[in-house]
Amino acid sequence: MSTVRSLRVTRRRFLKQTGLSLAAASAPSLTGPFISKALADTKTLSIVQWSHFVPEYDKWFDQFAKDWGTKNNISVTVDHIPVGNVAARAAAEASGQSGHDIFGWNGAGGAHLYRKFLVDVTSLVEATEKKYGKVSTIGRQIGYNQDNQTWSAFPDFYINFPAMYRKSMWDEIGMKPDTWDDVRIGGAKLKAKGHPVGISLGHSNDPNTTWRGLLWSFGGALQDAEGKNVVLNSKETVEAVKFVTALYKEAMTSEVLSWDDSSNNRYLVSGIGSMIVNPISAYRTFQKANKKGADDTFVMAPPKGPVRQIMGGASEFYGIWKFAKNQEGAIEFLKYYADHWPEAFKASEGYNNPCFANLVPKPMPILSNDPTSTPSDKLAALQDSEQWSASPGYPGPSWPAVDEVYNNFIICDMMSKAATGQLSAEDSVKWAHQQSEAIFTKWHGKT
């Protein structure tokens, strides 16, 4: 009975309880000014970068950044965007003068194009060099401005492009794709057996990177070492284009003309392809899909050309916007990140390659001994990839004109126009030279 009475809603009780509820509900707004001041005192750091091809890396990075924030009383947020959206996102943030504190670029462009919007990180790079050794050639091409010896971006890592081949298939013809000539001759034999070589001639990042590598290995290049002149129209380039024409006709199928960046991965996994040139994500995909096929797939340095052994690489780097709200925090985070780089390397399953000489001492974990691979030293050749990796501007710096040639797929189209018989090798080179020179002339007047 007493219980019933205590639960009975009287007018006095109703007013009292409603009043208390209202007071509780309005408390945040009453205390708002004090709380918002407290929130304003809590620093924040925001980072945006691509959605990594190794999803486990993203999980590691997000937790790593969050833990750093907890230690330093900084609220850290990490956003991941598709790789194809990075350029548009950067343009939007720079135009709006607002966005993330740290911007992670992927591939061509970025540091040089946005130079005027980015904090000079020379002291950060120099301090990291003192600790972890010199920046590699590809690392230097990423964010170094050779005109005034400053750094616009902090080199994070590069993605190398080794060759991957089906050992049993190549053993059957008694060859190994050590040189580009071997690839063509062996590829022709394997194509006859139903196992062509697969290197994309489409419009995407992989062919942009791969065919530049082949061009350099034949002694050709888009620009000179100073980045002043287009030097594409050369005997060496014509030879390279003639070679690609032969390679396409003899060792590949027309499928490669339509490939995107994931097509060669699928080609390898399908069991049809005898060789591809791609980051090891293709091999990792194969491991997950078919362990036996992956065991038969071997990873090696890219084939040697008549002049040198070299391949394109995709650069990843961090820039700090001048309009970033927490520039100090951004620099502190990157310092801390560099000190824990071997963890990042492991989390990426050996996909992220260090830009500083001693950042990951050799023998490198995973690459020297990968427990998931048979044999376990299958990825060992990747430890020296800084010796055969370069950015799109090689042998010169990366700068906006080089990026535009890259974004317009001019080198890929130079190869594909000749390969498909649309133009002769000489005319194709002339076409690409004219296209590139128009872009260079335009940018020379603007930089």
Partner 1 sequence: MAVIAEPVAKPVSRFHFILDRRGVFEAILVAPAIIYVLLLVGLPLLLAVYYSLSAYTIYNPTWKFVGLANFEQILQDPTFFDTLRNTFVFTFGSQLLGLVLGKFGAFLLLRPFPGRKIVRALIILPFAVPVALATIAWQWMFDSLYSVINWTLIAAGILTREDAPNWLGNPYLAMLCIVVINAWRFFPFAIVIFLAGITAVPQDVIDAATVDGAGFWRRNYQIILPMILPIVAIGLIFGIVFTFTDLSIVFLLTMGGPGGATSVLGFAGFQTGIVSGDVAHGAAISLFMLPVLLVVVIFMLRFIRRREI
Q: State yes or no: residue 400 binds partner 1 (CB under 8 A).
A: yes
Residue number with CB closer to partner 1 (137 or 264): 264
Q: Which stretch binds partner 1 (CB under 8 A): 161-169, 277-285, 326-334, 401-409?
A: 401-409
Beta strands 297-300 and 163-166 are antiparallel
Q: Which is nearer to partner 1, 87 or 238 (CB)?
A: 87
Q: Are 137 and 368 in contact (CB under 8 A)?
A: no
Q: Is 96 in the site for partner 1 (CB under 8 A)?
A: no
- Asked if 443 touches partner 1 (CB under 8 A), the answer is yes
**Binding characters for partner 1, 154-193, by CB under 8 A (x = yes):** ----------------------------------------
**Binding-site member from 294, 349, 404, 425 for partner 1 (CB under 8 A):** 404
Q: How far apart are CA 58 and CA 78, in angstroms?
A: 9
Residue 438 touches partner 1, criterion: CB under 8 A? yes
Give me the DSSP letters along 150-174: EESSEEEEEE---EEEEHHHHHHTT
**Alpha carbon separation from 160 to 11, 110, 142, 245, 256 (Å, rounded):** 76, 19, 14, 25, 21
Q: Does 112 contact partner 1 by CB under 8 A?
A: yes
Q: How far apart are CA 236 and CA 217, in angstroms?
A: 9
Cβ–Cβ contacts within 10 Å for residue 280, how many? 26
Among 20, 38, 39, 88, binds partner 1 (CB under 8 A): 88
**Cβ-based nearer residue to partner 1, 344 or 412:** 412
Cβ-based nearer residue to partner 1, 87 or 366:
87
Does position 98 interact with partner 1 (CB under 8 A)? The reply is no
Site for partner 1 in 414-433 (CB under 8 A): 416-417, 420, 422
Select the residue interacting with partner 1 from 284, 409, 433, 436 (CB under 8 A).
Answer: 409
Q: Which of 203, 249, 304, 335 binds partner 1 (CB under 8 A)?
A: 203
Nearer to partner 1, 257 or 357 (CB): 257
Using CB under 8 A, pick the residue from 5, 8, 37, 446 that binds partner 1: 446
In the block, residue with structure tokens 């394997």: 190
Binding mask 233-272 for partner 1 (x = CB under 8 A): ---------------------xxxxxxx--x--xx--x-x
**Residue 166 — φ and ψ, nearest 5°?**
-85, 110
Q: Give me the least distance between CB of 345 and partner 1, in Å please.
A: 29
Provide CB contacts within 8 A for 382, sequence distance 6+: 160, 162, 280, 299, 350, 353, 367
- Minimum separation from the CB atom of position 375 to partner 1 (A): 29
Question: Which residues lie below 8 Å from residue 396, measured CB to CB, with a gap of 6+?
Answer: 221, 223, 224, 225, 226, 227, 228, 402
d(CA 98, CA 173): 58
232 versus 338: smaller Cβ distance to partner 1: 232
Asked if 53 and 281 count as a contact pair (C-beta separation under 8 A), the reply is: yes
Segment holding 316, helix H or strand E: strand 314-320
The amino acid present at 41, given as its one-letter code, is D
Query: Do the strands 43-50 and 102-106 form a parallel or antiparallel pair, or are they unpaired?
Result: parallel
Q: How far is the CB of 385 from partner 1 (least distance, A)?
A: 27
Closest to partner 1 by CB, 110 or 302? 110
Q: Say which amino acid occupies 228.
A: K
Q: With respect to partner 1, which residue has the nearer C-beta, 223 or 263?
A: 263
Which phi and psi angles does 304 have, rounded to 5°?
Answer: -80, 145
Biggest alpha carbon–alpha carbon distance for the chain? 105
Residues in touch with partner 1 (CB under 8 A): 84, 87-88, 91, 94-95, 109, 112-116, 201-204, 254-260, 263, 266-267, 270, 272, 400, 403-404, 407-409, 412-413, 416-417, 420, 422, 435, 438, 442-443, 445-447
